[in-house]
Chain A
Amino acid sequence: MRTTTVVVGAGQSGLAMSRCLTERSVDHVVLERNEVANSWRRERWDSLRLLTPNWQCRLPGHAYEGDDPDGFMSAGGVVEFLAEYAKKIAAPVMSGTTVSSVRQATDGYLVTTDQGEWKCATVVLASGAFNVPSVPSFAAAVPPGVSTLTAMDYRNPGQLSEGGVMVVGASATGVQIAAELRRSGREVVMSVGEHVRGPRMYRGRDIHWWMEAAGVLDERYDEVDDIVRARRVPSMQLAGSDDRASFDLNALTSTGVKLAGRLAGINDGNAQFSGSLRNKCELADLKLGRLLGVIDEWASENGLDESVPAPHRFEPTVVDASPRLGLDLKRGEIETIVWATGFRPDYSWLDVDVLDQKGMIRHDGGIAESPGLYLLGCPFLRRRKSSFMDGSRADAEDLIEALAAYLDGRPPPARARR
């Protein structure tokens, strides 16, 4: 079979790109291993809601129109939203089609699937950045008797035995799971390395409202100091909930979650934590202070100081004088470990020479090093919000320019490039 563009993945990014391709009359298919919004259907925990408010759910030619703009979609709500979008834009989604290989061929690419082969000029990789849980190598040293599961396998507290839990990782995922397990009555220890602190609300508005308004979410990949680092920064400690509560470390410890430093190793069944917890918390507090400073400055410049509550700062993160450095996993205090240690993309099927030493695609703002190959839906791909739905919109609208130019034999236009 032949088409101009193959899009791999029918999530928010793949669908956004499909709509952009249709607008340009570019013949294409969207290959999806299962069905639209698959990872939202099958790879998320039950209570998960979007981190971004409903009003920020914007895709090319589609936006939230419900009666709760300030609310947060459940995983099921996201599935509905994306399924509705796919229908509305008549996206040519081939469901139940698993890509087993993408390789260069004469005049483009050859995409092999379990439903046949596609020849195409351009490929858009929109299969997501969170396909495989990253688990530290020493996970193998967890003693028998302690169950382990990853954030991808976690569904709800009922899955776990009644005993204590160690949640490793303090991104949005880690704090949400730790909070939920603590609410279920379990003792919870959370191992905390580098993290990004964020309040849900600031000066009467959602933090995402401020970050969008002040231009923080639109900060570009070629404007930050160290994009390699920026792409690896954990997600901000946020959750979408009706009470708009914050999920920072102080919120967790106030409910009885105990903090330990980054899990550095497991030796003879003893979990060893880094002594750097205080440093990590101070850095996160300072970083939050800088973010709020940017917001306050923007609010003043834009005359909001009269209409919103006054600037303030949050209490520094409370850290024990001597946080625990070890935990004997053989003693029974911990019955389950939840690895909330991040995810990585799965490019095992990508037979194009564009992967760096860490298995990530070499690209410039989503334009991969291999001509005609594009990437979407990865953290900070082109801007800070790239991994959010609204970022998929902006990135797809940029990259369609590059893709269309490539098909016409023109260099990528300035807008797509820089």
Chain B
Amino acid sequence: MTATDTPVNNGVNVEALLGAREALSAAPQAAQFQWRATCEWLNGTHSRSTVEGFFGLGEEQSHRTVYTFDADHPEIFASEDNGATPVEYVLVALASCLTAGVAAVAQNREIQLRSVAATIEAGMDVRGILGMDSDVRNGFSDIKVTYTIDADASDDDIKALVGQSQKRSAVFDILTNPTNVRVEVA
């Protein structure tokens, strides 16, 4: 689809992903993953979460390195603003998940990407989390993601990329569908 003969390269190894799909259809139990994070309270609303190990393909796995994430609230909430708010991490998760999807789908459809940028806006009525009005939910009232994509493809093909990335996105699913959550004290 490109104007030149250069093979499409978005840095996504689609063959490996398709190979994994093939392998997992033969051994579905290997598809059972468990993702993990730990979180430690530091002070006030400031906490530090750590991500390192996870389980998948039938065995313990680990990231190349340990990743940490400081979360806090901004000063207007009388906090020290030592990091992004947890709800902003949710936006980060959605944006990065969809963007990874755009790249993977584009690779699979042989569309060369030149630039992909997303802005995410999420509305929230904070009377919910402040417990001021039980009719107001705690979470977002809505989320809007806007993509600007420069690629060797028609507008409809680009829309289809973004549409398909939502269809295959874990975080999009997590946000749009209910999930049972169990929180216990050890």
A, B: real partners: yes
Set of chain A residues within 8 Å of B57, measured between Cβ atoms: none
Set of chain A residues within 8 Å of B178, measured between Cβ atoms: 264-265, 267, 272
- Interface 1/0 per residue, B134-160 and A, CB below 8 Å: 000000011000000000000010011
Contact of B172 among A262, A276, A283 (CB under 8 A): A276
CB closest chain-B residue, reference A357: B28
9 more contacts with CB within 8 A, not counting A262-B177, A283-B163, are A264-B178, A267-B178, A274-B176, A274-B177, A276-B172, A279-B172, A283-B167, A286-B163, A290-B156
- 8 Å CB contacts to B: which residues of A281-297? 282-283, 286, 289-290
| B28 lies within 8 A of A279 (CB) | no
| B159 lies within 8 A of A261 (CB) | no
Set of chain B residues within 8 Å of A289, measured between Cβ atoms: 156
Set of chain B residues within 8 Å of A274, measured between Cβ atoms: 176-177
Chain A proximity of B67: nearest CB distance (Å): 28
| B156 lies within 8 A of A286 (CB) | yes
What's the interface size class on A, roughly? Answer: 10 to 19
Contact of A276 among B28, B159, B164, B166 (CB under 8 A): B166
Consensus secondary structure, chain A interface: mixed
Contact of A279 among B141, B142, B156, B166 (CB under 8 A): B166
Task: Tell whether A300 is near chain B: CB-to-CB under 8 Å.
Answer: no
Set of chain A residues within 8 Å of B142, measured between Cβ atoms: 322
Q: List 10 A-B contacts (CB under 8 A).
A: A261-B176, A264-B176, A275-B175, A276-B176, A276-B177, A279-B166, A282-B163, A283-B163, A289-B156, A290-B156
CB closest chain-B residue, reference A287: B160
- 8 Å CB contacts to B: which residues of A305-345? 322
Chain B proximity of A264: nearest CB distance (Å): 4
**In the bound complex, CA of A283 to CA of B156 (Å):** 10
Set of chain A residues within 8 Å of B164, measured between Cβ atoms: 283
Set of chain A residues within 8 Å of B160, measured between Cβ atoms: 283, 286, 290
Nearest 9 interchain pairs by C-beta: A275-B176, A264-B177, A279-B166, A283-B163, A276-B176, A274-B176, A286-B160, A272-B178, A274-B177
CB closest chain-B residue, reference A226: B21
Total residues of chain B contacting the partner, CB 8 A: 16
Set of chain B residues within 8 Å of A265, measured between Cβ atoms: 177-178
- 8 Å CB contacts to A: which residues of B156-186? 156, 159-160, 163-164, 166-167, 172-173, 175-178
Most interface-central of A265, A272, A286 (chain B CB within 10 A): A286
- 8 Å CB contacts to B: which residues of A244-302? 261-262, 264-265, 267, 272, 274-276, 279, 282-283, 286, 289-290
Set of chain A residues within 8 Å of B167, measured between Cβ atoms: 279, 283
Set of chain B residues within 8 Å of A267, measured between Cβ atoms: 178
CB closest chain-A residue, reference B142: A322
Chain B proximity of A284: nearest CB distance (Å): 9
Set of chain B residues within 8 Å of A262, measured between Cβ atoms: 177
Most interface-central of A279, A290, A322, A357 (chain B CB within 10 A): A279
Chain B proximity of A278: nearest CB distance (Å): 9
CB closest chain-A residue, reference B177: A264
- 8 Å CB contacts to B: which residues of A42-80? none
**In the bound complex, CA of A262 to CA of B156 (Å):** 24
Set of chain A residues within 8 Å of B28, measured between Cβ atoms: 357
Chain A proximity of B170: nearest CB distance (Å): 13
- 8 Å CB contacts to A: which residues of B118-143? 141-142
- Interface 1/0 per residue, B21-34 and A, CB below 8 Å: 00000001000000
Chain B proximity of A330: nearest CB distance (Å): 17
| A279 lies within 8 A of B163 (CB) | yes
CB closest chain-B residue, reference A286: B160
**In the bound complex, CA of A83 to CA of B156 (Å):** 47
**In the bound complex, CA of A154 to CA of B127 (Å):** 45
CB closest chain-A residue, reference B25: A228
Known A276-B166, A357-B28; judge A282-B176 contact (CB<8 A).
no
- Interface 1/0 per residue, A151-163 and B, CB below 8 Å: 0000000000000
| B175 lies within 8 A of A282 (CB) | no
CB closest chain-B residue, reference A277: B176
Set of chain B residues within 8 Å of A283, measured between Cβ atoms: 160, 163-164, 167
**In the bound complex, CA of A264 to CA of B166 (Å):** 16
**In the bound complex, CA of A289 to CA of B159 (Å):** 12
**In the bound complex, CA of A276 to CA of B176 (Å):** 6
CB closest chain-A residue, reference B141: A322
Most interface-central of B28, B163, B173 (chain A CB within 10 A): B163
- Interface 1/0 per residue, A194-225 and B, CB below 8 Å: 00000000000000000000000000000000
**In the bound complex, CA of A322 to CA of B142 (Å):** 8
Set of chain B residues within 8 Å of A279, measured between Cβ atoms: 163, 166-167, 172
**In the bound complex, CA of A130 to CA of B28 (Å):** 27
Set of chain B residues within 8 Å of A261, measured between Cβ atoms: 176
**In the bound complex, CA of A219 to CA of B45 (Å):** 59
**In the bound complex, CA of A253 to CA of B160 (Å):** 24
Chain B proximity of A312: nearest CB distance (Å): 15
Chain B proximity of A338: nearest CB distance (Å): 22
**In the bound complex, CA of A171 to CA of B139 (Å):** 32
**In the bound complex, CA of A264 to CA of B179 (Å):** 9
